[in-house]
Structure 1
């Protein structure tokens, strides 16, 4: 189960709103959602948390490129919303079939692709490992935190503090930003 919230900075502090991710399929969708919540193109933070398994932060400052942090890349990669963030951080193209880890079988071939050059024949007697075979998801996604570790440092949460967060990270981040009360209203 996911919890997602937007925190938009205003002249009077932070405004919080929970958000539905049902229509979010790409990083552009998520970024647009954040920009729509922006007041005077000020900072907007999108928090996504999945049952204390991982959390992600997308930071949008006006028209600048979004900044992203994910607490556990391997756990997030197993999640549809986490995968959106991880793909961006790892530079994978969502339109490139070679970068679509979901389309790969366990043997590294794409779904429906024959394992041998000639379908129905077993002419390959080479038992060496094929180094050109695409890596599995576990090999391509690092474990642990990835992304911009200083994403919140100018807002009061240092890199060390961010990396130390484990469970209920969103509440601790909101507390450091002075937005705990407004976040609690949408939680």
Structure 2
């Protein structure tokens, strides 16, 4: 299960909105959604997490290139939205054939149960790595400084776990507005 929200900076503070992921099929869709939430081309921070397994932060400032951070690349890459972020961060534009068969919530079309990409019981002996794929780091990937000027230092961002989105919102002064959309 995912939780995703947009925090848009305004003259009066932050406004939060629930990020509806049903219409997001690509990273471009996610960026467009963030830009549409901007007030006067000000900063928008998109926050996404999957059941405390990983979190991602996308920062959009007007028409500048978005900046990304993922808390644990190897875990995030096993989920649909996380894979979008890790592929962008690694500069791989290859289509993953397995994603064609999955909804972005990690389920096959019409199924309610997530499709497991890898389990501890799977030794991977029969699996062939994706062409050109490199092992992903079992840790942070991206720009840990993307929130430095907003009150979340890079050292703090690198050590967040558990309810990281609440801690980020707290540092931004947006706890109440984030909790209102949870």
Q: Which residue of 1 aligns with 2:43?
A: 43
User: How far apart, in 2, do the equivalents of 1:10 and 1:86 lie?
Assistant: 29
CA RMSD, 1 decimal: 1.7
User: If you compute each CA radius of gyration, which structure gives the higher value, 1 or 2?
Assistant: 1
The unaligned stretches of length 5 or more in structure 1 are 110-133
Residue in 2 aligned with 1:143? 138
2:160 matches 1:177: no
In the alignment, is the contact (CA less than 8 A) between 1:25 and 1:84 conserved in 2?
no
Q: Which consecutive residues of structure 2, in runs of 5 or more, have no partner in the other structure?
A: 100-125
Corresponding residue for 2:10? 10
Q: Against the structure 1 CA distance between its residues 78 and 155, is the aligned structure 2 distance closer, same or farther, given a 3 Å change threshold?
A: same
Deviation at 1:167, TM superposition (A): 0.3
Aligned residues: 156
Q: CA shift at 1:106, angstroms?
A: 1.5
The Cα of 1:102 is off from its aligned counterpart by: 3.8
Question: Alignment partner of 2:47: what SS?
Answer: strand
* In structure 2, C-alpha distance between the alignment counterparts of 1:35 and 1:176, rounded to whole Å: 22
Q: What SS is found at the alignment partner of 2:85?
A: helix
TM superposition score normalised by structure 2: 0.81
Moved over 2 A (4+): 100-103
CA distance in 2 between partners of 1:145 and 1:108 (Å): 21
